[in-house]
Amino acid sequence: MRQEQFTPGTFVHVVNRGAHKIDIVRTDADRWRFLKLLRYLNDANAPRNWERDISPDHIRNNFARPEHWDEAQPYVSILSHCLKDNHFHLLLLEQLEGGTSKFMQRVSRSMAANFNAKYEGSGVLFQGSFRARIVDNDIHLQHLAVYINIKNVFEAYPGGLKIALDNFDDAYAWATQYPFSSTADFAGKRKSSLLDHETLKSLFASSADFRVAAEEFVNARLEIEDSLRELTLDE
């Protein structure tokens, strides 16, 4: 559960998991819809029926925003994201007062409503309110960005995390093609409209710096994970 109050300018690591560890996404359509939520619900001025305004052309055009909408007012800046089958991670920078909570409520409610309608469910989708921690240390911010974009994505690598760690170069190349995380952005392969790229520059000056940090994380994974146990919100 949340234990801290977030204010504008606060960096926050957020995790939400499926109730009883159930999958919160089942198909690639579900996964692409999650990216749509990150883009279009992160906006206090998005209309209530926002989804009817979003066409395939908007998605193909880097999640373009409909021109007739009022000027965007983001709740948060998104610095990292990774979607797994039964949970997701976000690294956020709060922009509006209460923005983290409002954004997460919108995302979670939309996912639950869509899941129940699509799969004829009626119960809760998530284990409860999202879990979050403030991150107030630059080194921890860098480590968390690597943790979200490398460790969590490597877990989805064919054969799992251990195989990925033993084959870093191949796993890293594979991770940069994984569409449901921000790894490609950090690796310089993409510039997604979901992310605040100006703030990202304060974490890693270049994609080469990120790769070096990723290799260091892999080589010292146990020590880093132990130091970040509270911030990574692992169970």
Q: Model confidence over 175-207: pLDDT tens digits?
A: 999 999 999 999 999 999 999 999 999 999 999
Q: How sure is the predictor about 223, in pLDDT bands with cuts at 50, 70 and 90?
A: low
88: β partners: 16, 83
Q: At what angle do helices 207-219 and 138-146 cross, to 10 degrees?
A: 80
Q: Are 133 and 200 in contact (CB under 8 A)?
A: no
The burial of 225, by beta-carbon neighbours within 10 Å (0-12 exposed, 13-18 middle, 19 or more buried), is given as middle
* pLDDT top residue among 120 and 55: 55
* CA 17 centroid distance within chain: 13
Give residue 76's pLDDT.
98
pLDDT score of 29 more than 70: yes
Q: How sure is the predictor about 235, in pLDDT bands with cuts at 50, 70 and 90?
A: low
Domains and CATH numbers, the chain: 11-133 (3.30.70.1290), 137-232 (no CATH)
| Across 89-93, 95-99, 140-144, 228-232, least confident range | 228-232
Strand runs labelled E in the chain: 11-17, 76-83, 87-94, 131-135
Mean pLDDT over the full length of the chain:
91
Q: How sure is the predictor about 2, in pLDDT bands with cuts at 50, 70 and 90?
A: very low
pLDDT score of 1 more than 50: no
b/e map of 53-76 (b: 16 or more CB within 10 Å)? ebeeebeeeebebeeeeeeeebbb
pLDDT in tens, 58-117: 999 999 999 999 999 999 999 999 999 999 999 999 999 999 999 999 999 999 999 999
pTM of the model: 0.91
Give residue 161's pLDDT.
87
Q: Are 70 and 43 in contact (CB under 8 A)?
A: no
The residue type found at 55 is S
Give residue 230's pLDDT.
55
